[in-house]
Structure 1
Amino acid sequence: MYPTNVKITKIIKETPSTRTFVFDKSFDEAVPGQFVMVWIRGVDEIPMGLSGKDSITVQKVGDATEKLFSLNEGDSLGIRGPFGNGFTLPGKDEKILLIAGGVGTVPIIALANYAASEGVCITTILGARNAEELLFVDKLSSCGELHITTDDGSAHRCGFVTDVLGETDISAYDRIYTCGPEMMMKCIFGMLENEDALDKTEFSLHRYFKCGIGVCGACCIDKKGLRVCRDGPVFNGLELIDSELGKYMRGPSGNKKDF
């Protein structure tokens, strides 16, 4: 449970608000969809999704990530993990649909890279606020068919990932995986529930937590009391029926807050 010291060997500017930090240590046991606890010394320890066995991709959103963005190659971080339940890995003969929005593309790219290496047939729907914030376009396009939407229409289709999903034959896919803003996933949940496809869909949730191992209880979700860090962050759609998904978020102490 003690952090492992890792050195930053490479920093890649992915978008104006997002960077990838590559380490000198590879977490080979990690399953796509798992996370690590990143200790930014003197500031905080926060959960981060792995975009690769040796990398995290981070959006600058608060004090901890602001400090992280000030670091340089050669600086170090503390890493605990990997933790949580990752995605169910697809079989070679399966056809999968990936739906990613914004920085939610981070766990999706890890899954896409694995699936592509296994010869899985992949279709991806990728969304972002604008063209500058699109993540991993080249990598995702090399993995299979890629549909892109931007909120402002500055690249490809103007609209949302749900617009493309509404035109997609859900029955053609053996498995569906999604990660992104929770309100986006709430809409996807409703659409797939209507299609009776929740059983083959997995949702990766982003919730605030501190311990990463299911002890503090800050990330418990109503009504089943599932812990995002320990029981998730990836959940089968059936587990989220009648849950708090898309209804409210949680603060540092687990208190309910409006989106």
Structure 2
Amino acid sequence: MSQRVIKEILSQEEIAPKHFKMVIDAPEIVEGAKPGQFLHLKWVDNIGGDPLLRRPISINDMDKDSGELSIIYRVLGRGTELLSRLSKGDKVDIMGPIGKGFSIPKEARKVVVVGGGMGIAPLYPIVKELLNKDREITLFLGGADEGQLLNLKDYEEMDLELKTSTVDGSHGYKGFVTDLLEEALDGADYIYTCGPEGMMEVVQEKAKKLGVKGEASLEERMGCGTGACLSCVCKIKVGTKDDWEYKKTCTQGPIFPVEEVIFNG
């Protein structure tokens, strides 16, 4: 159940240029959080009151025992720049956990996970959960450079097959992560993906070609985070023909069946 709390920051560090990891003491949020859900948060007034709206940021990790959670975000504008100024002991105003989380169907035994850039961050909790349930995982991470391969060191220590790609060739295959995908999907039971729309659209095409179903985590601009403002709607297929409807990413998502999403619609 989503709630609003003001909580203390335990640590914040810049893990790559303009990429920050913040750890927050928030047991009330962690208790009910699921992989794939996100937070709607803002700074507390000691650093200024503008801009007005909160920022939606996915949960990157959570510890049920300690009550700690972490987020990873990239500085893109005024709001995230203000967040990046915070340090240990400062407080953030949080609404969460929000949205529909990932599911793990019984038939998902051999799983492919594909993340690109900031889209890697929401996938870390579901990868951990899949490993806890003894699922076989092939994980694909893609980014412009090695710094964008979030949680890379954590993944390298996990019992899974890891494949990486970077546009500049600084880690793994030089090129796009989707170039590596088709062979792994042949024989897979399920796929999870999050990243740029262009990447997820290619993932969708390759999965559909091989009859693999799965889930996509969408990222949209959000105003209220409660489903009232309709600023985050996305197009989702309905029925068996070409019908579709708008759904709210904040409350009806951000997780949707990958085969039902209409990208660049």
Q: Which TM-score band applies after superposition, normalised by the shorter structure?
A: 0.7 to 0.9
Q: Give the conservation status (yes or no) of the 8 Å contact 1:12–1:19.
A: yes
How big is the shift at 1:28?
Answer: 2.2
Q: Is the 8 A contact 1:90 1:115 kept in 2?
A: no
Q: Could you tell me how far 1:191 is from its partner in structure 2?
A: 1.9
Q: How does 1:172-251 map to 2 (within 5 A)?
A: 172-197=187-212, 200-222=213-235, 223-240=244-261, 243=262, 245-247=263-265
Q: Is the 8 Å Cα contact of residues 16 and 133 (structure 1) preserved in structure 2?
A: no
Report the equivalent of 2:65: none
Q: CA deviation at 1:163?
A: 0.6
- Superimposed CA distance per residue, residues 172-198 of structure 1 (whole angstroms, 9 cap, x where no aligned partner): 22221000011111121122222222x
Query: Are 1:163 and 2:172 matched, yes or no?
Result: no
TM-score by length of 1: 0.87
Structure-2 separation of matches of 1:125 and 1:224: 30
Q: After TM superposition, list the pairs within 5 Å mapping 1:1-259 onto structure 2.
A: 3-26=4-27, 27-41=30-44, 42-43=49-50, 44-53=53-62, 54-89=69-104, 91=106, 94-143=109-158, 144-168=160-184, 170-197=185-212, 200-222=213-235, 223-240=244-261, 243=262, 245-247=263-265
Q: Please give the alpha-carbon distance, in whole angstroms, between the structure 1 residues aligned to 2:150 and 2:108.
A: 27
d(CA) in 2 for partners of 1:126, 1:225: 29
> C-alpha distance in 2, partners of 1:64/1:93?
38
- Please give the alpha-carbon distance, in whole angstroms, between the structure 2 residues aligned to 1:52 and 1:93: 22
Q: CA deviation at 1:2?
A: 6.1
Distance (Å, rounded) in 2 between the aligned partners of 1:81 and 1:93: 28
TM-score normalised over the length of structure 2: 0.85
Distance 1:130 1:93 in 2: 31
Structure-2 separation of matches of 1:121 and 1:70: 40
1:217 to partner: Cα distance: 0.9
CA distance in 2: counterparts of 1:11 and 1:98, whole angstroms = 27
Amino acid at match of 2:32: E
SS at match of 1:28: helix
Q: Tell me, what secondary structure is at the counterpart of 2:207?
A: helix
Corresponding residue SS for 1:140 = helix
Q: 1:97 to 1:127 in 2, by over 3 A?
A: same
Matched AA of 2:151: F
Question: Percent identity of the aligned residues?
Answer: 31
**Contact preservation (8 Å) 2:3, 2:96:** no
The 4+ residue runs of structure 1 with deviation greater than 3 A are 90-93
Structure 1 distance, partners of 2:199, 2:227, is 26
